[in-house]
Amino acid sequence: MSDPDAPPEATHYEPKVIRREDRRARVKSEEHDQIEYPIVVEGLVNQFGDFVVHEDLSLKVRRGEILGVVGGSGTGKSVLMRSIIGLQRPTAGQIEVFGRSIDDPGDDSEVDIRSRWGVLFQGGALFSTLTVGENVEVPLREFYPEIDEEFRHEIARFKVGLTGLPEETVAKYPSELSGGMRKRAALARSLALDPELLFLDEPTAGLDPIGAAAQDRLTRELTDILGLTVFLITHDLDTLYEICDRVAVIADKHVIAVGTIEELLATDHPWIQEYFNGPRGRAVRDNRDRTKAVDKSQDGKA
């Protein structure tokens, strides 16, 4: 007997959604709790014609961390990210995400591995002809076509709210937003599918220092609240110091060092020394030390 009080559409879509969510939840809890390294890259080679970008590059990303990825311009940070998410087929090497090879992510009955990560591409390109809400709905339409329209709108509104944007932003077009708001909207879209893993390619590029600091705080907060693991490409020293748990340095075609900034400073690689101990690196550190000293003296007064 059907419940006469139940909304008519509910019987239409709920069973499907619940079954799929259920399966996803199970996969999430079993795998996610066991896997120490959601991303494992070993012996990666990427080559375009004669031009070698990566040679024997290896990297492990720990569950729950924000890993900053740095390196000079053109060292292959974006290519590495594209390889991990399966958009760039490597010349050689192994890549595992959630313990599964990215070449062979499993059969059709399994949850599509692509639905378990979110990506904010360099430039954060939103579809300019779609509103912010419609942008956030794009991955939902692709991976969960069975979700009905009203529910999809609601999820989009929720994701937009999660990034701190005012409610009315849902109906706005990207061109009507500031750079910082566009980044937040792009972040909302990358969170559309409740990912476990987030890939951010230069998320503060083009923002003024205040906007960049706000975006950093948001990334850290969402990471902690949602239990995410984050692969964050940046050259923003503030971002590295403020929110990254560890930093991986790409130079000479591979990852030359991974660790906390303190650990990196203890190495004598010239690029690392120049980057973190050069004038800009020192300025960021001095500034942080000053801010901490002020905070301390104010704590004392309170």
Ligand X SMILES: Nc1ncnc2c1ncn2[C@@H]1O[C@H](COP(=O)(O)OP(=O)(O)O)[C@@H](O)[C@H]1O
**78 counts as binding ligand X under rule CB under 6 A:** yes
> CA 122: distance to chain centroid?
11
Of 71-79, 91-99, 182-190, 266-274, the window that binds ligand X (rule: CB under 6 A) is: 71-79
Tokens 């708001």 — which residue?
181
Maximum C-alpha span of the chain = 74
**73 counts as binding ligand X under rule CB under 6 A:** yes
- 3-class DSSP assignment, residue 279: helix
Residue 280 near residue 258 (C-beta atoms within 8 A): no
**109 counts as binding ligand X under rule CB under 6 A:** no
CA distance 78 to 82: 6
Residue 8 has which token pair? Answer: 């008519």
**78 counts as binding Mg ion under rule CB under 5 A:** yes
* Sign (positive or negative) of CA dihedral 247, 32, 222, 161: positive
Pairing status of strand 229-233 against strand 197-201: parallel
**234 counts as binding Mg ion under rule CB under 5 A:** no
**219 counts as binding Mg ion under rule CB under 5 A:** no
Contact with ligand X (CB under 6 A) among 38, 68, 76, 203: 76
- Per-residue mark of binding to ligand X, 13-32 (x: CB under 6 A): --------------------
- Per-residue mark of binding to ligand X, 32-61 (x: CB under 6 A): ----------------x----x--------
Of 35-43, 69-77, 144-152, 252-260, the window that binds ligand X (rule: CB under 6 A) is: 69-77
Q: Please report, as a single letter, which amino acid is at residue 45.
A: V
Of 33-41, 75-83, 216-224, 242-250, the window that binds Mg ion (rule: CB under 5 A) is: 75-83
- 3-class DSSP assignment, residue 201: strand
By a kind-dependent CB cut-off of 5 to 8 A, residue 189 interacts, out of ligand X, Mg ion, none, with none
Binding site for Mg ion (CB under 5 A): 77-78, 122
